[in-house]
Structure 1
Amino acid sequence: MDLFEVELQKVAWERTECGCGESAAHLPDKIRSLFFLSEGHGDGEAFTTALNDHVMTPADALLPASAAFVPVACAALTGPLSEPARRETLGWILRILGPAVDSDDPIAAECVEAARRGLWVLYAEVMHGESEAGAAYAFESLMLIEEDLERLRAVQEAAGDRLPWDLRSEEI
């Protein structure tokens, strides 16, 4: 059993609210199949479409499924993922963190805390990930949750061309 499965099995999905309005009991199989798409299966559109209205509401509001998804996504990033699945996983983490960081909602706080527990996974993606888009998503997520701004600035400088030009010059 890998770390991804450990995290996936920790969640009481049947008691977790899903964005589709039902229990999230159907999400583990959906997440498993998406995370382990083999290389060459599209550009990630299937991944994004399959999670729409499940991990968040149709209006991009956070749900218990959002908070459950973040640690599972971070755990998946520690294993072998295709580049599209890796990039889209990082994109979903950022998509969840965007509305979470400025919210007083307890679910938002859970999302941010789960991402902070995966901080080093995000840093590894910035420094060693397979794509510039993935590095950008990881860095933007770090910009939202990292409390050590000195470390974040140092990584921004060290990452250099791994980040898009706008993030290389972003004032932190």
Structure 2
Amino acid sequence: MELVDLEIGRHDWATLYCGCLGFAGHLASRLSRLARATTEEEASVDGIHALTESQSIVTATLPVVSVALAALADDVQEPARRRFAELILGVLCSDGQELTPEFDGRDVLVECEDMVRGALWLLYREVLSATSVGTGSYAFEILSIVENDKQRLELVGTLAGQRIAADLRHPPR
């Protein structure tokens, strides 16, 4: 969990806003607990999805996506991997952000997409090494949002075979 812990430690969570409409101080411990989850029950950490359940971008969003990508690069067990991939996908599918002073003109959703785009090969590895259809499918759906090379995406969709949901194997051209 070194990568996850390192990434969690880089952020001042108490100064960031969460989707629960409060400060995000609670997210650091919950993200850490999620990264250490080995069962489905442990991976259903309360409060993690408040970030995306609000369907809007908050100041904690970019750090959470950064931690989620670190988790996919770290030695995290399958139930947690799936939740982190689901979390990234939820952010990328959100309704965007409200124009509020704390963003100072930034488009955090675009920044999240750029961050995730920088981790394409990590996501491709996740698709092709997934031990569950859920994790592979989430990773593939994330790629379908951020990958500019649609030919490569289609080839990987075919190569992934049973590792992703059937409706994702042959994306529309």
TM-score interval for Structure 1 and Structure 2 normalised by the shorter chain: 0.7 to 0.9
1:121 is displaced (CA, Å) by: 1.6
Q: Normalising by the residue count of structure 1, what TM-score does the alignment of the two structures yield?
A: 0.85
1:90 is displaced (CA, Å) by: 0.8
Superposition pairs for residues 21-170 of structure 1, below 5 Å? Answer: 21-38=21-38, 40-42=39-41, 44=43, 46-47=44-45, 49-53=46-50, 55-56=51-52, 58-99=53-94, 106-170=107-171
1:131 is displaced (CA, Å) by: 0.6
C-alpha deviations, 1:77-118, integer Å up to 9, x for none?
1222222111111111111111268x9971111211121122
Q: Is the 8 A contact 1:122 1:138 kept in 2?
A: yes
C-alpha deviations, 1:121-149, integer Å up to 9, x for none?
21111000211110000000000011121
Q: Is the 8 A contact 2:4 2:35 kept in 1?
A: no
- Whole-Å Cα distance in 2 between the matches of residues 9 and 100 of structure 1? 28
- What 5-or-longer segments of structure 2 have no aligned partner? 100-105
- Whole-Å Cα distance in 2 between the matches of residues 144 and 98 of structure 1? 9
Q: May I ask how many residue pairs the two structures share in their alignment? A: 166
- 1:4 — aligned with what? 4
- What 5-or-longer segments of structure 1 have no aligned partner? none
Amino acid at match of 1:94: L
- Whole-Å Cα distance in 1 between the matches of residues 42 and 167 of structure 2? 23
Amino acid at match of 1:52: H
The 1:43/1:119 distance shift into structure 2, 3 A limit, reads same
Q: Is the 8 A contact 1:100 1:109 kept in 2?
A: no
C-alpha deviations, 1:23-46, integer Å up to 9, x for none?
2122111110112112x35284x2
SS at match of 1:30: helix
1:50 is displaced (CA, Å) by: 2.9
SS at match of 2:47: helix
- Whole-Å Cα distance in 1 between the matches of residues 12 and 157 of structure 2? 37
- 1:19 — aligned with what? 19
- Whole-Å Cα distance in 1 between the matches of residues 26 and 47 of structure 2? 12
Amino acid at match of 1:89: F
SS at match of 2:60: helix
C-alpha deviations, 1:1-52, integer Å up to 9, x for none?
72222221222222211122222122111110112112x35284x23x4313
- Whole-Å Cα distance in 2 between the matches of residues 32 and 59 of structure 1? 22
- Whole-Å Cα distance in 2 between the matches of residues 134 and 100 of structure 1? 23
